Structure 1
Amino acid sequence: RLLEAWGDIDVIVNNVGVSAFKPLEESSLEEWDDIMSINVRPVYITSRKLAIHRRNMGGESHYGRIINMASTRQSMSEAGTEAYSASKGAVDSLTHALMMSLAPLGITVNSVSPGWIETGDYDALSEADHSQHPSRRVGRVDDIARACIFIALPDNDFLNGENIVIDGGMTRKMIYI
Structure 2
Amino acid sequence: MIRPPAIAAFDAQPMHGRVVLVTGGAQGIGRGIAQAVLGAGGSVMLGDLDAEAGQACLAEWREPARAAFGRLHVAHEGSVKRWIASALKRFGRIDGLVNNAGIVSPHVASLTELSLASWNSYLATNLTGAFLCSKYALPALSEHRGAIVNIASTRALQSEPDSEAYAASKGGLVAFTHALAVSAGPQVRVNAILPGWIATDAWQKPSTRKAPKLSRQDHAQHPAGRVGTPEDIGAMAVYLLSDASGFVTGQHFVVDGGMTVKMQYV
What TM-score, normalized by structure 1, do the two folds share? 0.90
Where 1:66 maps in the other structure, the secondary structure is: strand
1:99 equivalent among 181, 196, 212: 181
How much has 1:176 moved relative to structure 2? 2.4
Is 1:156 the counterpart of 2:245 in the alignment?
A: yes
Is 1:63 the counterpart of 2:63 in the alignment?
A: no
Counterpart residue number, 1:174: 263
Preserved CA contact (<8 Å) 1:63 1:154: no
Distance 1:162 1:20 in 2: 23
Is 1:39 the counterpart of 2:129 in the alignment?
A: no
Distance 1:138 1:54 in 2: 34
Query: When you count helix as a share of all residues, which structure comes out higher?
Result: 1
Q: CA RMSD in A?
A: 1.6
**5+ residue gaps, structure 1:** none
Is 1:26 the counterpart of 2:26 in the alignment?
A: no
How much has 1:8 moved relative to structure 2? 2.0
Counterpart residue number, 1:10: 95
How much has 1:110 moved relative to structure 2? 0.2
123 and 4 in structure 1: CA distance in 2 versus 1, 3 angstrom threshold: closer
Higher mean Cα deviation, 120-129 or 150-159?
A: 120-129
Distance 1:54 1:174 in 2: 41
Is 1:114 the counterpart of 2:199 in the alignment?
A: no
Where 1:117 maps in the other structure, the secondary structure is: coil
How much has 1:152 moved relative to structure 2? 1.1
Distance 1:5 1:69 in 2: 25
Preserved CA contact (<8 Å) 1:69 1:112: yes
**5+ residue gaps, structure 2:** 1-85, 202-209
Distance 2:170 2:97 in 1: 17
How much has 1:150 moved relative to structure 2? 1.0
Counterpart residue number, 1:77: 159
Preserved CA contact (<8 Å) 1:20 1:31: no
Where 1:165 maps in the other structure, the secondary structure is: strand
**Count of matched residue pairs:** 171
Identity over aligned pairs, percent = 40
How much has 1:53 moved relative to structure 2? 4.0
Where 2:191 maps in the other structure, the secondary structure is: strand
Residues 94-124 of structure 1, C-alpha deviations (whole Å, 9 max, x = no match) = 00011011103x2100000000001115541
Higher gyration radius (CA): 2
Preserved CA contact (<8 Å) 2:178 2:250: yes
How much has 1:9 moved relative to structure 2? 0.3
Query: Residues 128-143 of structure 1: matches in 2 within 5 Å?
Result: 128-143=217-232
- After the TM superposition, list the runs of 4 or more consecutive aligned residues in structure 1 that deviate by more than 6 angstroms: none
Residues 30-72 of structure 1, C-alpha deviations (whole Å, 9 max, x = no match) = 10001100001121112111234467x6xxxx32010000000
Distance 1:146 1:53 in 2: 24
